[in-house]
Structure 1
């Protein structure tokens, strides 16, 4: 049967006609239960009996279950060749190494190089791999070649964390036990073979003071033309004299590793497994007005409006850039900061685009110190490639159409923590004008006793007729009728910085230009000033800092609380909340501080900590939070960023409600609820309007409770997050969780601690080659692309038997065997029963 229509868009007439054909086939050839058949949609998974009309709606709305190409549940039998295990099925079980080499070295094949003369480096790699792929693993072996077996063996090493030495020992044992086995005899030879399947990288020398790169016109320079520092590390003898007798070997003082972006983007289209997914944002995305993907955001739509020619071809790539510094040595007491630059392609569907396997590492900026504002020096190679991809594009082969097209790419925005925001944007995130949205109109004051700048007066974001605007007693003693500050557009910023001359290098004297520290290198991109959303506020770090402030203040944890003696003196200087002012007793010898409305007794602190310690969370939702709660000392410490995310969203409200008065509990609960609603995967635009009005009022309520020292820049920034969601879509695509996990992956590549960046570069190249290989291996082989996670939603066929109230997703965790009974106590059974009543669609009509 012709089933090509199953690949068409679900709204197309061909697909709808095909669904009618499927229904007729199922009722005629299958075994329907009366008027019902099994629904093969992507949600029901052939686990629910539905009428034909309902099945039609499900297939139009959800599409067919992935992989259900043979309708064996609806009357279609397997072909004789499939049953007998004939040629086709045997070929499907083999690794497709020939197609792998064809896609990887397509350019080499098209050039038709000579056999011996004029071979490029890629051509030499190609012919070496062809030779390995043609060699039998052992005499008369039909299932594996030397190359395919080596790839599978190295894949196991990476999946299960074998050490390099153990891998070499395994190869030696295999050679000893099976002398005819044709495999490499060491880890280094195996890695070299896999490395040839990936793409290479280049090393660019840099000034040790971050002034310049030795490339292009300065490629042959031996010293920095800005500060005069030497390009090389000079080797000296014990007496301090330069060695002259030894063979000269120059070592670069600093090296930037550049992984060219263009060939990596081209390879996405050369692989038939990924080229179709790159058009998902245009062909298969739901367009019902809700925010599910960056393509649903206003920034994406504005970009299409400004550049209709670019938007005309859905294959053109939209990128997000993320960067952060990290210590690769797993030693917190050692100061070292390497800065990878990560690119995220947003063309992919939501379940792929944020995965590490689809992210790219174009630059690896070396440590030991953070580049700071000098990061623009290291971004130059990437910006040059982005200019080419925008202005001219590059000719690229599309495997899905078997044609070439002119591929273009554009950078939409950057992702970083708040200090990284300053490095990438050029706007200083410290001082009186730290907020990049409020810019020159940031409401800030300096607290002389706490020695910090606080950011208050959030009443400017309220409607003009709001009661808080005329309330002077509960705030700073003045009425507030100023309008909210206007944000600076990209064109305005470009005009402000048009004559600004960047000065880079650690030894160069910086010229102060107010809050601007430089003109960002991203403005060299022709489209950058027209981007609606250029730099993202990181919700991950904002949540962590706000949670730290709340917990430290409520539990009065030393060095974390915002309510201390200096904060009370600041209140006295400002002349507000006189009840909290310090009072002198014993003729001025002692000072007494009154209890604030958010202060808790010892018993209340025990209850508060007990709620967090005894909380039960789903497996994999967070780490063991109970270990972070110290009941004896009544404090919480040692939690990770994601733990703070979970506690802020789900647990903190319960603890606050159990111990706090309504005056304190209500605004804090509203703040927690705001973040929980903001982090939804699917967001309605109407909900954003409600969130925007709530977050404008919540900080004003907090201003009447907490001292000014509580309101650092992190407490102020949530006021702008709703607008960022409206512009860029759900925050899951624009926060630092995925880049931070990627940094942990790079940290695992470090083997030589003397050269951490070199280790990461070599590890990345090999991993990149393995990811490419994984797309051509037998579908039954476990790889990083299809490895079942601990909390996977996949299930085995025997797990779909039984009741059909719910779609069967997930699989049991642990060592439970099929058929082993699990008994619930009365309380757990009642909880499960209530969950079904409140969440089962079939029951909802009886509960109204």
Structure 2
């Protein structure tokens, strides 16, 4: 990307091109980004250092529900880019492909180890890279800004249990759950605990479970508290748009009230862990910025593209790697040679036509103000919306 002038310029957008008015539009506007840049100023001052999002998820490469084959691509997206490009297919990088037929499960750390070593190298020492936009070498460093995964994948990546009573990683042992005997499933309600103490819903018995709610939801753990919990864990590999920040608190209050109203009317079986996790979305926005840049949908679409690379059903992972590598190489060469003049090939007379540029008899016309008024009147007289006024 740094070898292409246009892409190299875009890699600086998060610091030089974005609008800074206090409104979160990009992960660069988030408190987490400001905290990182403040703690590591040498890293934060270099606009070309990479801020990455890591996504890992399983897929069935055969596009058939009858197969249990599970392949896990590990993808990276670059948050240096503008928000309309971060999640585009061109800028999502396939870094690892964990082969099937069975999912890696808790052994995923074995497969991630080479990537972790490379990321540590990029953080500690960096890599000399030529910047085609600045026409100079620089030492590029990189960091993982956040990870993106669906809830089952989150369980594998973090090692946290996502089932039973303590399924919520934010509430942990304060998660309020009910075990349904007939369907043998846990449901997660008790959203009145997130309401203010004086809210009338806390005293409504009949509409809820017949009790007055006096409990208070536990505050989420801070980063330091989480680190204190995990810093001494000895892991044996493989075995063990625009957002107005002033409206976020109101949005959180509306979510709590809505879930409480759901509890009045919906059956218990409706309240699985995915419904409960909506409670914490606003917190995620406050910490890391807009959610649409950290959601699974673009990566799910990218997984569908990877499936299309499978030509040999006996070696699906090899087919994916070969197809992705060929496409990446062709795309790089196309971008790199786009600004050069071709030898022996005539220039197309259709060039620029898609952008509205004429090719034959091209000339500029600057109409007078009188002609513009006549053209404007002509258009108005032929619009059905204006007929009643005429």
TM range (shorter): 0.7 to 0.9
Mapped partners of 2:226, 2:25: distance in 1: 30
Once the 2 structures are TM-superposed, how far is the Cα of residue 504 of structure 1 from its aligned partner? Answer: 5.2
1:297, 1:729 within 8 Å by CA — same for their partners in 2?
yes
Whether 1:352 aligns to 2:85 is yes
- 1:390-429 → structure 2 map (5 Å cutoff): 390-429=123-162
Mapped partners of 1:289, 1:738: distance in 2: 27
Equivalent position of 2:192 in the other structure: 459
- 1:626-641 → structure 2 map (5 Å cutoff): none
- Mark the runs of 5 or more structure 2 residues left unpaired by the alignment: 342-353, 359-364, 366-381
Q: In the TM superposition, what whole-angstrom CA distance separates every residue of 1:669-697 from its partner, at most 9, and x where no partner exists?
A: xxxxxxxxxxxx22211222221110011
Tell me: CA distance 1:683–1:412, structure 2 relative to 1, closer, same or farther (3 Å).
same
Equivalent position of 2:331 in the other structure: 771
Whether 1:486 aligns to 2:46 is no
Whether 1:741 aligns to 2:301 is yes
Give the paired residue count. 352
- 1:620-631 → structure 2 map (5 Å cutoff): none
- Mark the runs of 5 or more structure 1 residues left unpaired by the alignment: 1-267, 509-517, 519-680, 782-793, 802-823, 835-848
Once the 2 structures are TM-superposed, how far is the Cα of residue 440 of structure 1 from its aligned partner? Answer: 1.8
Mapped partners of 1:293, 1:346: distance in 2: 8
Equivalent position of 1:293 in the other structure: 26
Q: SS of 2:55's equivalent?
A: strand
Equivalent position of 1:12 in the other structure: none
Mapped partners of 1:349, 1:733: distance in 2: 10
TM-score by length of 2: 0.85
Tell me: CA distance 1:687–1:779, structure 2 relative to 1, closer, same or farther (3 Å).
farther
Q: SS of 2:278's equivalent?
A: helix
Equivalent position of 1:687 in the other structure: 247
Equivalent position of 1:306 in the other structure: 39
Q: SS of 1:276's equivalent?
A: helix
1:439, 1:487 within 8 Å by CA — same for their partners in 2?
no
Q: Which has the higher contact order (CA 8 A, sep 6+)?
A: 2
Equivalent position of 2:181 in the other structure: 448
Equivalent position of 2:376 in the other structure: none
Equivalent position of 2:344 in the other structure: none
Mapped partners of 1:278, 1:451: distance in 2: 50
Aligned residue among 361, 374, 380 for 2:113: 380
Once the 2 structures are TM-superposed, how far is the Cα of residue 472 of structure 1 from its aligned partner? Answer: 2.2
- 1:678-717 → structure 2 map (5 Å cutoff): 681-717=241-277
Mapped partners of 1:295, 1:498: distance in 2: 27
Mapped partners of 2:54, 2:281: distance in 1: 19
Equivalent position of 2:362 in the other structure: none
- 1:723-738 → structure 2 map (5 Å cutoff): 723-738=283-298
- 1:4-19 → structure 2 map (5 Å cutoff): none
Mapped partners of 1:711, 1:332: distance in 2: 27
Once the 2 structures are TM-superposed, how far is the Cα of residue 441 of structure 1 from its aligned partner? Answer: 0.9
Q: SS of 1:450's equivalent?
A: coil
Equivalent position of 1:258 in the other structure: none
Mapped partners of 1:504, 1:395: distance in 2: 31
TM-score by length of 1: 0.40
Tell me: CA distance 1:765–1:454, structure 2 relative to 1, closer, same or farther (3 Å).
same
2:4, 2:336 within 8 Å by CA — same for their partners in 1?
no
Once the 2 structures are TM-superposed, how far is the Cα of residue 404 of structure 1 from its aligned partner? Answer: 1.8
Whether 1:760 aligns to 2:320 is yes
Tell me: CA distance 1:312–1:743, structure 2 relative to 1, closer, same or farther (3 Å).
same
1:417, 1:736 within 8 Å by CA — same for their partners in 2?
yes
Whether 1:341 aligns to 2:74 is yes
Q: In the TM superposition, what whole-angstrom CA distance separates every residue of 1:7-35 from its partner, at most 9, and x where no partner exists?
A: xxxxxxxxxxxxxxxxxxxxxxxxxxxxx
